[in-house]
Every structure is written in C-alpha cells, then in structure tokens.
Structure 1
Amino acid sequence: MSALFEPRTLRSLTIPNRVWMAPMCQYSADATGPDTGAANDWHFAHYAARAAGGTGLILLEATAVSPEGRISPYDLGLWNDTQVESLRRITAFLKAQGTTPSVQLAHAGRKASSDRPWQGGAPIGADAHGWQPLAPSAVPFDEGHPVPTELTPEDIGRITGEFAAAARRALAAGFEVVEVHGAHGYLIGEFLSPHSNHRTDAYGGSFENRTRFALEVVDAVRQVWPDDLPLFFRISATDWLEGRPGWTADDTVRFAALLRQHGVDLLDVSSGGNAPRVDIPVGPGYQVPFAARVRAETGMPVAAVGLITEAEQAEKIVANGEADAVLLGRELLRNPSWAQQAARRLGGEVHVPEPYHRMV
C-alpha cells in the first residue's frame, strides 16, 4: 500500500491519508459590516473542491483571533459567533467527504493592516480599513512599514486569551484540529526571533524568554481544546539570516521538544517570512530537511511543506520517514483533485464522491 495513502492517527482522530492542504489566505472576506471576517461562498467553493478531490486534511487559512490580528481587512476571523456560523457549512461538507477540517489561528503582529497581495500588499491606513499594528518591539518589518506599537505584558495576556477564545469557537464551528500560527514573521514568530524581538523583560532576550509567549498561547489553547483532538503548531524553521541574529534550525529542534511537552501533537515546518529580502535556496522540497531533522531528533510528528508537487516525491518523503504528512499549497490551487490523481499513480485508495465515480 502507498505510504502516502495510509491513515494517520493523532490522539483519537484518524486522518484518512497524508495528503494535506496547507493554509493559504484567500483575502476574500468582507472588510466591514456585520459579516467582517466571516466565510462566504468563495471560501466554501474553494475548500469544498479540495475535499471532493480527496485531500485528507484541510487547514483553513490564517484565521485571526482579533480584528487587529488580521493580515489584511479581508481575512477570516474567529472572534465572534457570526464567524462561527459561517464556518459550519464548510466543516460539515469537509467531514461529509471524509476530510478532516482544520483551522490555523493567527495574529499578524507587525505585518498586519496590509492590502491584498494582488493590490500590492503594502501597508494600509484607516482610509482603506487599516489599523495600527502591534508587535513585541517597536521595530517595523521593512522600510516604508509603520512602526508597530510595542505590546505591554497586559496586552500579551489579553492576546493569549484571544487565542483560547478563538479555539473554543473553532470547536463550536466543527473543526477537529487547530493549528497555532508561529511562522512567517507574524506575531508569535516575531517573539521567537531576536531579529524582531528586542525586549528586555520576561518576553525577550534569552531563548526561554523569547519562547515564553508561544508556550503560553499553546497552554491556553490546549486547556480549552479537547484532550482527544490534536493541536498543531506552524514554525518557520529558520529566518534565513546567516551571520545575523535570528531564529535558526537549531532553535527549532530545541523548541519542538518543548512544544511536545506542552501538548502539541504535530509540527508544521515551514521557513522564512520574518525578514525581507533574504536569500532562500528555493527548490523542490527545499524545506523537507528541516522537518526531517525535527522528527529524527525529537520524535515529534511533522508535516513537510514547500514545492512538493509530484506524487512520487510526496510518497518518498512519507515512506522514508522524513515527515508524517505533506502539506500542498500552490499545487492544490492548480489541481484540486491532486490526491485522487496521486492515488491512481501510486496504487493508493482515496475517497471519491459518488457523483465522480464515473471518472475512476
């Protein structure tokens, strides 16, 4: 049997295969009004297509725990009950296709209040529904970006509570996995890295202090998330800042062991995003070695992501024990039925909706 199409059990949850969809923002929610941050027909069609295509687990895009935690005004959120109701239609359909509905909980930190990528992605102000970003330190992401407001310890405690509240709403919305977003230079990742965290209090300086906020968020989420359901954490394995202060692969391995002790069940291993204009050696599977190292050195289950496009490539990653699952991003945008096609190539079995049985 194909390793890629074997089920994977985490806690009490069995995920039908190892082809998972990476979280990718759609920037398609309403920016204002009563439906701000709520899922709409675009989100339903987008995720439903990948579930019908056999994807074993779908991680919904970065979903903000508060209005100021959005990357853009058009992001999904989970800070009110209207948003919960809008997501139930999606989770119900995903479950009906045998897909595990999952959601990434996020706070954008200093990279918040940005325009849609296809409109340039630049920081925006109040005239375009923008707001003042928050961060561990008053250090802008890049030239031309606003200086963020440095969070107080009270602010940090409030945001920790917002993650927990969003996790409760995620459960009410029908999700079976939550992922804490600690990657790509958003708020939690900003705390982790000395590149963006210049604090001198209990949340800055040493490794223990810089990881404190992330672990407090994990603890708060794990406390409200059911014991029988898994919790994921997404990490940027490195800032790619060779020779300069930043988060490193060694830090990731050390931190993964801590996350496991705090109840995280799987590490979703990406990289970069915390510093502009860095040299990243992009190529097929370029981030897989980071995931493989975490798995080998800590025993933590991992998912690998990054230019995984071919069925045989994905099969090798899982079969060789480099990762427990692969997360496909752009490839699933191009081909919603990637999992079904890969199963035919590899001799695996995957769910096919009854109306599609004629294609098998």
Structure 2
Amino acid sequence: MYVVQNTEPGVPMLFDPITLRSLTIPNRVWMAPMCQYSAATDGPEAGVPHDWHLSHLAARAVGGAGLILTEATAVSPEGRITPADLGLWNERQERAFTRVTRFLQEHDTVPGIQLAHAGRKASTDRPWRGGGPVGVADGGWQPVAPSPIPFAENHPVPRELTVEEIRRVVDDFAQAARRALRAGFQVVEVHGAHGYLIGEFLSPHSNRRTDAYGGSFGNRIRLALEVVEAVRAVWPEELPVFFRVSATDWLTENPEDEREGWTVEETVLLAGELLSRGVDLLDVSSGGNAPHARVLTGPGYQVPFAARVRAETGMPVAAVGLITEPRQAEDILTSGRADAVLLGRELLRDPHWPHRAARELEPSSSLSWPEQYGYAV
C-alpha cells in the first residue's frame, strides 16, 4: 500500500518522503483543505478558481508543504456549501485548475483536490456574512439530504434524495474525479466528513431512511462505498485516493446527549471497508454533523482517532486538528500515531511553517527554498 522512503540519519520524520502507490510525496507536512468562499457565485465563472485561489495555494507550496489539498470542491452546483464555493462540474473550472496544479508541481508540491457535496448544509452564506441559509430568491437552492431533517432550527428542510438521485450523486463524483485528473491533480480525496452529504448518510442522527441506504451500518455506509468505487474506477491505478471522515459527530461521547450518532468504532469498521476498495489513506477529522454537540478540544485532540484506525486496520492515516508546533507534529509521526500531519489554520498564520519546523527540529538540514528566495534566506 505504501512505502516509507528513508532519508539520511537524523532527518526528522516530518521530512521523510512517503510513497502511496507510485506517487512519492516529498514530506509529511500537508495542507488541509480550507474553504475560501471566494469564487464567483453565478454566471460562467461560477465555481472557477481565480487569482485569490492561486495565490493562497501557491504561498503554501513556496512555504514547503509536501501535499496541498484544495478546499472542498463541489461536484455539482447544488453540492456547494455556499454559492461562492469552488466547483468541478464543467470544463471551464477544469481548465482553470490547470494553472494551480502546474504551479504546485513546479515547486515540488503534490497537488491534491477534495471533492465534496454539502448535502443539507448547502446553500448557506459566507462565514464572515453570518453563514446563515441563502434563500432561492437570493441565489440559493433547496438542499438535499438522506432524510428531510434540517441541519439546525434556522435551516430549511432538505429534500430527501431518491435512489435515482443518489446514483446521479455517485456519477457526479466520478465525473469530477475525471476532470481533476485532466486538470493535473495527483491525489483525489472524497469528503465524507463534517456533516456533508456522505457523512449525513453515515450517521443515524441525520439518516432515517428505511431503504437500502439507511438503517443498518452496512446500509448507511453504502453511499460512501459506492462513491469510492466510482472514483477509484476512473482514477489511475498508480495514483492514491484519500477519504476524509469525521471519526465521531460527538454525540455518543456525551452521556447527557441522548442523540444517536456516528462512533469511533464505526469509523474503524468503515476504514477496513474503504481499504479493501482501494482507498490509500484515511484523513481523520471529527464533528460537524450535529449542532450544539459538545466537542472536547485541545492540542492534537483528533490524533487519538487517527491512531486507533492505524493500529486496528493498518491503514495509513493523516492526523489533523490543533497541530501547531513542530515537535508536536514530529512526535505524532515518530510515535506511530499517524503517517502524515495536515495543518490548516497554522498554515494560514505561517505559510512557511515547514521551513520553521526544519530549522527547529534539525538546524543542519532545511528544506530547499525556491531559487528566487534561496540566495537571500
């Protein structure tokens, strides 16, 4: 499944390359998907990446990230979280992404893309404008979901997907993966976390269906497996597929919360099913499916979930969530709790975090700067 490329003795594991299938990622400091909500909301440029997206991603490539996962990119217009999300449902979007992937590869960073459908959390406003629902009259749309259960009290009731519509969602993911490959991406990640559509099907909190897609564990994971199989079928054998999961939606951990939810034990079982279907790495996050859930946070608070999946399944995992310090990140890897770390907000604060980590962990070894910077730093 994967091979560790050992480097010189004394080199921190953060900067030890990792090979997944035939793709070697130069280090294990990866950029997590972070939505920018900055695309055009309608017209021919809707969902198309532009200068902001390029500069945002390019800065982290220059900063030394080994893999960059673009923000959640919608597989269909109704799959956007906000009207300003990126998309990959047409050729114009596909062509625009080639500018991004070309720059990342020129700077020795692997370009990856996260494909998503927001489900019942779709058609909301940008966070800095309050993040509330956007009505049809204001450019929004009716969200869809496994069951007609709104995400929160102020959200609209989503329309329950028919089986035929579920099949179209699966095909949307496959078609978006085809476009991602043509656009130059080398990693594709299926977004099954944070209470978006696939995660909604996983959790009994949001999935009350009585057909083949609801009820039992095997039924609730059906959509996730069908999407993975469809993506894997169109993605090259030599390139990896990732899956992002919320290890828990933080309901069962709270004895005072009577709501039924998705559990860590189910995540481990799902990981085994994904592994057998060609998923190469599990990106382990948590939460997002139930409002007002009590989330217990702290430095590296999601790392134990990733460690459990790795220990019980042997599946490569990436850890994410309040990983901020180089020695903290290095310890996660050397202790065997994860195979890579995904940084989000910390890379917003410091795009050159990988270079800082290299200096702090092993001053005699450092990442290579671009030629334009290397002579001066």
Q: TM-score, normalised by structure 1?
A: 0.99
What residue is the counterpart of 1:357 in the other structure?
374
Establish whether residue 139 from structure 1 lines up as the match of residue 149 from structure 2.
yes
What residue is the counterpart of 2:8 in the other structure?
none
CA drift of 1:359 comes to 4.6
What residue is the counterpart of 1:244 in the other structure?
259
CA drift of 1:122 comes to 0.3
SS at match of 2:41: coil
Deviation digits for residues 287-307 of structure 1 (CA, Å, limit 9, x no counterpart): 000000000000000000000
Alignment of 1:279-294 (within 5 A): 279-294=294-309
SS at match of 1:132: coil
Contact conserved, 1:98 with 1:351, CA < 8 A, in 2?
no
What residue is the counterpart of 2:7 in the other structure?
none
What residue is the counterpart of 2:94 in the other structure?
84
What residue is the counterpart of 1:104 in the other structure?
114
What is the CA–CA distance in structure 1 between the aligned matches of 2:369 and 2:226, rounded to whole Å?
41
Establish whether residue 12 from structure 1 lines up as the match of residue 27 from structure 2.
no
* Corresponding letter in the other structure for 1:60: T
Alignment of 1:225-264 (within 5 A): 225-242=235-252, 243-264=258-279
Establish whether residue 297 from structure 1 lines up as the match of residue 307 from structure 2.
no
SS at match of 1:62: strand
What is the CA–CA distance in structure 2 between the aligned matches of 1:93 and 1:351, rounded to whole Å?
16
Establish whether residue 26 from structure 1 lines up as the match of residue 41 from structure 2.
no
What residue is the counterpart of 1:346 in the other structure?
361
* Corresponding letter in the other structure for 1:354: E
Higher relative contact order (CA 8 A, sep 6+): 1
SS at match of 2:318: strand
Q: Residue 131 of structure 2: which of 116, 121, 125 is its match?
A: 121
SS at match of 2:375: helix
Alignment of 1:327-342 (within 5 A): 327-342=342-357
What is the CA–CA distance in structure 2 between the aligned matches of 1:258 and 1:149, rounded to whole Å?
29
Q: Higher mean Cα deviation, 110-119 or 347-356?
A: 347-356
CA drift of 1:127 comes to 2.6
CA drift of 1:112 comes to 0.2
What residue is the counterpart of 2:216 in the other structure?
206
What is the CA–CA distance in structure 2 between the aligned matches of 1:151 and 1:127, rounded to whole Å?
22
Contact conserved, 2:50 with 2:96, CA < 8 A, in 1?
yes
Contact conserved, 1:55 with 1:99, CA < 8 A, in 2?
yes
SS at match of 2:149: coil
Establish whether residue 163 from structure 1 lines up as the match of residue 173 from structure 2.
yes
CA drift of 1:351 comes to 3.2
What is the CA–CA distance in structure 1 between the aligned matches of 2:48 and 2:132, rounded to whole Å?
23
Contact conserved, 1:16 with 1:98, CA < 8 A, in 2?
yes
Contact conserved, 1:314 with 1:326, CA < 8 A, in 2?
yes
* Corresponding letter in the other structure for 1:212: R
Aligned length: 360
Contact conserved, 2:368 with 2:374, CA < 8 A, in 1?
no
What is the CA–CA distance in structure 2 between the aligned matches of 1:351 and 1:211, rounded to whole Å?
43
What is the CA–CA distance in structure 2 between the aligned matches of 1:326 and 1:291, rounded to whole Å?
10
SS at match of 2:333: helix
Deviation digits for residues 68-96 of structure 1 (CA, Å, limit 9, x no counterpart): 00000000000000001111111000001
Deviation digits for residues 262-292 of structure 1 (CA, Å, limit 9, x no counterpart): 1000000000000001111111000000000
SS at match of 2:38: coil
SS at match of 2:111: strand
What is the CA–CA distance in structure 2 between the aligned matches of 1:222 and 1:22, rounded to whole Å?
21
SS at match of 2:337: coil
5+ residue gaps, structure 2: 1-10, 253-257
Contact conserved, 1:5 with 1:349, CA < 8 A, in 2?
no
CA drift of 1:352 comes to 1.3
* Corresponding letter in the other structure for 1:321: G
Alignment of 1:32-71 (within 5 A): 32-71=42-81
What residue is the counterpart of 1:325 in the other structure?
340
Query: Runs of 4 or more off by more than 2 Å in structure 1?
Result: 348-351
What is the CA–CA distance in structure 2 between the aligned matches of 1:128 and 1:13, rounded to whole Å?
44
* Corresponding letter in the other structure for 2:328: Q
SS at match of 1:200: coil
What is the CA–CA distance in structure 2 between the aligned matches of 1:17 and 1:349, rounded to whole Å?
12
Contact conserved, 1:234 with 1:270, CA < 8 A, in 2?
yes
CA drift of 1:337 comes to 0.4
* Corresponding letter in the other structure for 1:332: L
CA drift of 1:341 comes to 1.1
Contact conserved, 1:164 with 1:221, CA < 8 A, in 2?
yes
Establish whether residue 189 from structure 1 lines up as the match of residue 199 from structure 2.
yes
Contact conserved, 1:97 with 1:351, CA < 8 A, in 2?
no
